[in-house]
């Protein structure tokens, strides 16, 4: 059978940010765009997925070629991107390839950050917009529900989302290796760099007791502290407040060491040698790497965090292989359900068609042979009906034997339709 599904799109792998921005759809204008797209030639149902990393148009179409052409023309008009330039950036999928792509996107296998958890929520959000706009019908609804199910299976049956793949989340992972439970810990942020703020955000989410901020600019310290419902402390008292913290994050633009070996020793004396973690996200570094040789001082810089991220990415890639198998199972299952829905009317029509062929030949015989005895006529009609059944039976049996292979079943269905001229009305 033909799935009548088509998708076009561009993403972070095929198009630079400038092109993605021009092709994107403003959330407030999206319902109007959907209602306009569904009126284009060959489009029967549609939804649009538009984020900073991808723009995709997915439609149920009358035929793939016409649907792809209509969607590309629509995107070209809305983005004002030159046709040839846009065409070079676009990917196009139809039929089972389109199903597979939708399932992979929902399962975060096509994301910039492999395994990111946010993508499923984004897909659901754009699905809901299309539902509200009235551009999704039974077909795309079934497809998206199947995609959501596949994504949930991937989350449930793999560990693809359990490994830290950002520098900030890697900082949390390293701190947990030292302290285990981070609840009750105190954090000192030195500076106001973006990465330091992100690391502190992740640490704050673990339930740490307090966040303090030291910055050469008291105003910047107060603003960042307010963000974490924390406390701004004097930059000049760095030693004092580091000694009162279990985790110290440095993220400044300074070209000098803020914590040298001697200061680290002083901090440890004030801490009575209890463990402390320095996470130095600054480049150049703000903490002397040699402090890590002091007992109970644990020092990590951006390379250490990067190593954690790379190791975890490797783990995610391993899990992705399992996730791909799950997606393939779900794609086959979805297509098989569609094929089975298509098969029932074909079976009935095949039986009827063979019966009609036999009946035409029997009527021709009666017309040529002249009047027959009523009893003899009934017996001939019963015999012809049985012959029709015997012709149809092996064809139907063979069709049902392909249930395990959707592609083979689809090919066999198409062959039967072509030979016996079935479902002509539905295809016109």
Q: Quick check: pTM over 0.85?
A: no
Interval 317-328 mean pLDDT: 95
Instruction: Give CA–CA dist 184/51, Å, rounded.
Output: 38
Q: What is the pLDDT of residue 50?
A: 94
| 52 among known catalytic residues | yes
Residue-level pLDDT at 403? 67
The residues, any chain, with a CB within 8 Å of residue 405's CB and separated by 6 or more, are none
Query: Averaged over 311-333, what is the pLDDT?
Result: 92
Place of tokens 């000694």: 243
Q: How many residues does the chain have?
A: 428
Q: The sheet that has 54-61: what strands, in order across it?
A: 43-50, 54-61, 5-11, 91-94
Confidence of residue 137 (pLDDT cuts 50, 70, 90): very high
- Residue 166's pLDDT is 77
Region of 296 on the Ramachandran plot (φ > 0 left; ψ -120 to 50 alpha; else beta): left
According to the per-residue pLDDT averaged within each range, which of 110-114, 247-251, 332-336 is highest? 247-251
Average pLDDT taken over every residue of the chain = 90
* Backbone phi and psi for residue 25, each to the nearest 5 degrees, phi listed first: -115, 130
What is the DSSP pairing of strand 5-11 with strand 54-61? antiparallel
Strand partners, 234: 215
Q: Please name which of 114, 89, 112, 111 lies closest in space to residue 16, comparing C-alpha atoms.
A: 89
Give the least confident one: 31-45, 110-124, 281-295: 110-124
- The CA-atom distances, in angstroms, between 237 and each of 214, 258, 277, 279, 337 are 8, 12, 18, 19, 68
Environment class of 181 (CB within 10 Å of its CB; exposed 0-12, middle 13-18, buried 19+): exposed
Q: What is the mean pLDDT of residues 227-245?
A: 95
Between 311 and 35, where is the model more confident?
A: 35
CATH 3.30.460.30 domain span(s) along the chain: 5-157
Q: How far is CA 73 from CA 17, 20, 59, 195, 333, in A?
A: 21, 16, 14, 41, 33
Give every CB contact of residue 172 below 8 A, 6+ residues apart in sequence: 164, 182, 199, 202, 203, 206
Q: At what angle do helices 406-420 and 302-369 cross, to 10 degrees?
A: 30
Range(s) for CATH 3.40.50.720 in the chain?
168-304
- Which is higher by pLDDT, 70 or 414? 70
Please name which of 10, 113, 119, 150 lies closest in space to residue 71, comparing C-alpha atoms. Answer: 10
Mean pLDDT within 74-98: 93
pLDDT for 428 equals 39
| Class for the domain spanning 5-157 | alpha beta
Is the pLDDT score of 375 beyond 50? yes
Looking at residue 40, its pLDDT comes to: 97
Q: Which of 240-244, 255-259, 272-276, 339-343 has the lowest mean pLDDT?
A: 339-343
Is 168-304 in CATH node 3.90.1300.10? no
Q: Give pLDDT tens digits for 192-213.
A: 777 778 888 888 888 899 999 9
Pure H helices in 180-301: 194-204, 218-227, 238-243, 261-270
Instruction: Tell me the pLDDT band of 336, cut-offs 50, 70 and 90.
Output: confident
pLDDT at 348 over 90: no
Spatial separation of the C-alpha atoms in residues 204 and 53, rounded to whole Å: 28
Q: What is the pLDDT of residues 248-272, one digit of tens each?
A: 999 898 889 999 999 999 999 999 9
Which whole number is the average pLDDT over 239-249? 97
Which of 52, 80, 335, 358 does the annotation list as catalytic?
A: 52
Q: What does the pLDDT look like over 290-310, one tens digit per residue? A: 999 999 999 999 899 989 888
**What was the pLDDT predicted at 58?**
98
Average pLDDT over residues 406-413: 71
* Rounded mean pLDDT, 39-67: 95
- Count CB-CB contacts under 10 A for residue 231: 15
Percent of the chain with pLDDT over 70: 96
């Amino acid at each position: 059978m033909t799935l009548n599904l088509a998708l076009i799109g561009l993403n972070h792998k095929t198009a630079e940010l400038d092109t993605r921005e021009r092709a994107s759809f403003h959330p407030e204008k999206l319902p109007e765009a959907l209602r306009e797209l569904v009126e284009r030639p060959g489009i029967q149902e549609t939804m649009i997925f538009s984020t900073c990393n991808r723009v995709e148009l997915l439609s149920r179409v009358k035929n793939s070629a016409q649907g792809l052409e209509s969607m590309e023309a629509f995107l070209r008009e809305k983005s004002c991107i030159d046709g040839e330039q846009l065409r070079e950036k676009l990917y196009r999928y139809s039929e089972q390839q389109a199903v597979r792509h939708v399932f992979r996107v929902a399962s975060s296998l096509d994301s910039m950050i492999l395994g990111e958890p946010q993508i499923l929520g984004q897909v659901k959000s754009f699905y809901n917009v299309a539902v509200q706009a009235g551009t999704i019908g039974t077909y795309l609804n079934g497809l998206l529900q199947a995609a959501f199910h596949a994504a949930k299976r991937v989350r449930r049956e793999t560990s693809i989302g359990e490994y830290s793949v950002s520098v900030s989340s890697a900082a949390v992972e390293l701190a947990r290796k030292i302290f285990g439970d981070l609840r009750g810990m105190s954090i000192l942020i030195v500076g106001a760099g973006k990465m330091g703020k992100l690391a502190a955000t992740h640490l704050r989410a673990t339930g740490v007791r307090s966040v303090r901020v030291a910055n050469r600019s008291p105003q910047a310290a107060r603003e960042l502290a307010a963000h974490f419902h924390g406390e701004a402390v004097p930059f000049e008292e760095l030693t004092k407040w580091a000694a009162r913290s279990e985790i110290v994050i440095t993220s400044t633009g300074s070209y000098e060491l803020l914590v040298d070996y001697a200061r680290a020793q002083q901090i440890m004396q004030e801490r009575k040698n209890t463990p402390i973690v320095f996470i130095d996200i600054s480049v150049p570094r703000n903490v002397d790497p040699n402090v890590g040789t002091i007992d109970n001082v644990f020092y990590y810089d951006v390379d250490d965090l990067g190593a954690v991220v790379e190791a975890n990415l490797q783990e995610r890639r391993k899990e992705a292989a399992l996730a791909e198998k799950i997606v393939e199972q779900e794609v086959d299952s979805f297509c098989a359900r569609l094929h089975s829905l298509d098969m029932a009317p074909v079976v009935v029509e095949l039986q009827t068609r063979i019966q009609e062929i036999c009946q035409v030949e029997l009527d021709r015989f009666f017309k040529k042979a002249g009047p027959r005895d009523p009893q003899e006529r009934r017996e001939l009609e019963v015999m012809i009906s049985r012959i029709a059944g015997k012709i149809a039976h092996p064809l139907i049996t063979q069709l049902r034997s392909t249930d395990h292979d959707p592609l083979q079943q689809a090919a066999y269905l198409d062959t039967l339709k072509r030979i016996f001229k079935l479902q002509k009305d539905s295809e016109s």
